[in-house]
Amino acid sequence: MSRQPPGKRADYRWFHAITTRWMDNDVFQHVNNVNYFSYFDTAVTYYEMTEKVVGLLDGPVHCVVAEVACRYHASLAFPDRVNVGIRVASIGRSSVRYEIGIFRNDDDTAAAEGHFVHVFVERGVQKPVPIPPESRAKLTLLTISGGAPDAPASAH
């Protein structure tokens, strides 16, 4: 089975920087696979909070994770700096699929890539609701269509 080559930084629209921690390493002296999912969650949540896509702790709507996956290309280890790139692959009625790239230090090639599906739900009852128009407009700014986007939209 052939595998798609790792993506490049230019393939992603928005970035969030995270520093690895000593405890992220496992007995094999690299960042354990479970931590990559934490990096995904941190970057997407930070984007949604800072860009006011959804109110994390208040408001009638918030997001829950419906699906997450990761492909590993190269190892990370403490004290690497991690740059997490995100882009929006698709926006549905009540969900958004983010695609995510993990970049080690200043590397241009992704060390890992995956996706993260968030479903917009009514707070309290957890039932899916349509993505609010203002949220949809913000997500559209990170949307890719049929290829890599022009340039990163933002870096944090």
Q: Model confidence at 156, in pLDDT bands (50, 70, 90)? A: low
Q: What is the distance between the alpha carbons of residues 12 and 88, in angstroms, rounded to a whole number?
A: 9
Rg (CA), the chain: 16
Task: Copy the structure tokens of residue 109.
Answer: 């090639």
Question: Under a CB-based contact definition with an 8 Å cutoff, are residues 140 and 153 in contact?
Answer: no
Question: Under a CB-based contact definition with an 8 Å cutoff, are residues 115 and 69 in contact?
Answer: yes
> Mean pLDDT in the chain?
91
Domain limits of the chain? 9-145
Task: Copy the structure tokens of residue 99.
Answer: 């695609």
pLDDT tens, residue by residue, 78-104: 999 999 999 999 999 999 999 999 999
Closest C-alpha to 75, from 99, 106, 103: 103
55 three-state secondary structure: coil
**What is the value of pTM for the model shown?**
0.89
CATH topology of domain 9-145: Thiol Ester Dehydrase; Chain A (3.10.129)
Q: What is the distance between the alpha carbons of residues 36 and 42, in angstroms, rounded to a whole number?
A: 10
Specify the pLDDT at position 1.
67
Residues 6 or more apart from 30 whose CB is under 8 A from it? 75, 76, 77
pLDDT tens, residue by residue, 36-72: 999 999 999 999 999 999 987 888 999 999 999 999 9
